[in-house]
């Protein structure tokens, strides 16, 4: 059975409504770039590096190795997407508080129970 990077990437992005949050990811990065939304540099760097790694033809395990060759890409996506989604959830919380008129918010945090 042959696995392709595209198929594995499609499986990885099924993570909790990732596709529906793409516009929010765009808004988050736009506001971060403008300096209106604060987030750690690593929260930007790690997903960006993961995306570059998955797109890049250079891999730790070459793609021509059956199954295992594509698993390194899937592993990178499996680590980066939840990190990005957690930051997007913080952003959406921050954004909703701003819409309610609270301009004093500096940072938002999600507390898991």
**Mean pLDDT computed over 45-61:** 82
What is d(CA 73, CA 1) in angstroms, rounded to the nearest whole number? 17
Q: Are 90 and 108 in contact (CB under 8 A)?
A: yes
Q: Are 81 and 18 in contact (CB under 8 A)?
A: yes
Structure tokens that stand for 14 in this block: 């099924």
Single pTM value for the model: 0.64
The pLDDT score that the predictor gives to residue 53 is 85
- Coil, strand or helix: which one is 36? coil
Computed over every residue of the chain, the mean pLDDT equals 77
**Mean pLDDT computed over 62-87:** 80
Residue 1 has pLDDT above 50, yes or no: no
What is d(CA 30, CA 100) in angstroms, rounded to the nearest whole number? 21
Structure tokens that stand for 73 in this block: 């890409």
How crowded is residue 25: how many other Cβ atoms within 10 Å of its Cβ? 16
Residue 50 has pLDDT above 60, yes or no: yes
Q: Hey, where are the domains in the chain?
A: 16-61+69-112
pLDDT digits (tens, 9 = 90+) for 6-49: 665 555 555 557 778 888 888 998 998 899 998 888 888 888 88
């Amino acid at each position: 059975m042959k696995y392709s990077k595209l198929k594995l990437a499609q499986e990885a992005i099924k993570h909790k409504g990732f596709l529906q949050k793409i516009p929010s990811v765009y808004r988050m990065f736009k506001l971060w770039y403008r300096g209106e939304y604060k987030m750690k540099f690593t929260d930007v760097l790690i997903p960006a590096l993961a995306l570059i790694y998955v797109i890049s033809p250079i891999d730790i395990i070459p793609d021509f190795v059956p199954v295992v060759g594509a698993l390194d890409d899937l592993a990178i996506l499996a680590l980066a997407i939840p990190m990005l989604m957690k930051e997007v959830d913080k952003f959406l919380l921050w954004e909703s508080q701003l819409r309610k008129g609270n301009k004093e918010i500096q940072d938002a945090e999600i507390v898991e129970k």
